[in-house]
Structure 1
């Protein structure tokens, strides 16, 4: 059972000067946070890519490379690499380099992206959203299997008997992140790739039919059941008490949900929604350690998980609060979950 943490590099918002903290400060805080996660024995760190003013990380490869020199054991993964708007050759080169720097600790978790800023930024059309991902994933996987590449697609220049450098010591681990679209789930199953379900709203049990669909499709396409890997990535935050969470963390979480929701036409995020998410049936793994451990345990059993990634920095909590959340997760929650195989 792999237990890790994930971040997007949310920037703390200062209500007094009506501005976000500097990315420089947030990135340096992140190094200390991941060092603590490794010290506590967590298995992995997963880092998301965004191109917006409220996040510090647009280049996961650069940040993970910095973390590779500050750590020695923890797995370093993207979560996600927005492959649709990236060049698979450059992605593969960057993560091979990271893998070599980190002594084989790198992983690509690729996704189509739930934010769209990267598409116009890198010159792609949203109407090609699905085709872009299919084509670029095909190239990325070929790069991972073959030394000499001959390939042609619609959205990038062809390759003819091309070898890409540096050469890796092993095939890079590549997983697919999905938000619940059956097409994405079927793609991961057909290709025999590990899958990561992002469950950030509603009730986890609503994903049971989708997880079962993945398992059925995976086996239907002739893949080895012993190699099947299923993970969940969900919003998580640990405090000593529920009252502390509601008083200190809820306003930050609601503000971030409202920033995103305003762009997408969502109604304002409410305390009632937050409390529903914190309930035993909800998708927010938040509160005091025993409560969160029980909830993660139930999710592991419900889906037969191999991985759980606790996404812990939504809303940009302060450094000291994030450090405390990681400490509680690593010292109080994770030990209760280590018995799962």
Structure 2
């Protein structure tokens, strides 16, 4: 089971952070994640000034030159508003810089702003995503591409440069839409599911749908990989983790800091979400290890990534959480999973 962390690069006007300081920290967290033995580091993409990173490939290129092993993924790339040719070139270049460690997590976007910025029609965002994903896969899998679609000019025997090394994995990022999960399954692409509310039972329904759709068209189980992402913090103890994390979690979700989106969460609601089967991965090392192992045993999850620095958390708090994850929690999880069958639960 792969374990890692990620940043969506949120930034707050009432904090001492700037885009420059946040980018410095985000690069340092990727280096630290590798140093403490984690497998994957993710960076999100946003296009407003409430976030520091609009180009994950550029950030990952900096991390790639300071690391040698960790997988560099996106959480997620907003494929609906981007040109697949330019996107492929950026990540093929990153793949060469990192010697085969680049990945793309392709998503549709939960925000409206990128559509206006890039001149795309949000009312067609599912059609945009489907067509652009088709082209991105063709660019990855074929040396020359002849292609025709609705939303960009056609390609005629196009040779896109540079070519990636290895596989250049493309995951489909799913926020909770059944049709998106089924599409990922039919395509035989790995799916990463954002689990930000409810319990793991909510995730199971989508994962079962994903695997069922993949099996129906003949994809083998080993091809139908699943990742889970969640809000995340590991403290010294469960009580200390909840106490320290709550102010940042409350601010991160609050409509006041999300342009009217979001919701208010009180301490009791947070604690309920952080309970054994809840979506929120906040607690001491033992509690987090148990919850991640639940994802593996009950859902057959292949990868877990925790959002490690949300709500303006101080950098030292983030670094301590990464260190506990890599030094204490990850070895405990790997010890258990190394003795367990690797098969997935039946849908």
**For this structure pair, what is the TM-score category when the shorter chain's length is used for normalisation?**
over 0.9
Do structure 1's residue 59 and structure 2's residue 24 form an aligned pair?
Answer: no
The farther-off stretch of 221-230 and 316-325 is 221-230
Deviations 1:177-219 (A, max 9, x none): 1012111011101111011111011112122122111111111
Q: Pick the aligned partner of 2:218 from 219, 222, 236.
A: 222
Do structure 1's residue 196 and structure 2's residue 195 form an aligned pair?
Answer: no
CA drift of 1:116 comes to 2.1
CA drift of 1:270 comes to 1.6
Q: Pick the aligned partner of 1:211 from 207, 231, 244.
A: 207
Q: 2:251–2:257: 8 Å Cα contact kept in structure 1?
A: no
Structural RMSD (CA): 1.6
1:147-162 equivalences under 5 Å are 147-162=143-158
Q: How many residues align?
A: 337
Q: Pick the aligned partner of 1:164 from 154, 160, 164.
A: 160
3-state SS, counterpart of residue 9 of structure 1: coil
Q: Pick the aligned partner of 1:79 from 58, 72, 75.
A: 75
Look up the match of 1:325.
321
Do structure 1's residue 242 and structure 2's residue 238 form an aligned pair?
Answer: yes
Look up the match of 1:101.
97
Return closer, same or farther for 1:34/1:243 CA change in 2, 3 Å cut-off: same
- TM-score calculated relative to the size of structure 1: 0.95
Deviations 1:248-296 (A, max 9, x none): 3211110110047864555422212211111112110101110111111
3-state SS, counterpart of residue 124 of structure 1: coil
Q: Pick the aligned partner of 1:277 from 257, 273, 291.
A: 273
- TM-score calculated relative to the size of structure 2: 0.93
Q: 2:232–2:281: 8 Å Cα contact kept in structure 1?
A: yes
Q: 1:20–1:54: 8 Å Cα contact kept in structure 2?
A: no
Do structure 1's residue 138 and structure 2's residue 149 form an aligned pair?
Answer: no
Look up the match of 2:9.
9
Query: 1:260 & 1:329 partners in 2: Cα distance?
Result: 31
Return closer, same or farther for 1:282/1:139 CA change in 2, 3 Å cut-off: same
Look up the match of 1:125.
121
Q: 1:42–1:74: 8 Å Cα contact kept in structure 2?
A: yes
Query: 1:219 & 1:199 partners in 2: Cα distance?
Result: 23
Unaligned runs of 5+ in 1: none
Q: Pick the aligned partner of 2:64 from 61, 68, 79.
A: 68
Query: 1:117 & 1:244 partners in 2: Cα distance?
Result: 37
Unaligned runs of 5+ in 2: 343-347
Q: 2:233–2:321: 8 Å Cα contact kept in structure 1?
A: yes
Q: 1:5–1:309: 8 Å Cα contact kept in structure 2?
A: yes
Q: Pick the aligned partner of 1:29 from 14, 25, 31.
A: 25
Q: 1:68–1:102: 8 Å Cα contact kept in structure 2?
A: yes
Query: 2:64 & 2:20 partners in 1: Cα distance?
Result: 18
Query: 1:263 & 1:216 partners in 2: Cα distance?
Result: 38
Q: 2:242–2:282: 8 Å Cα contact kept in structure 1?
A: no
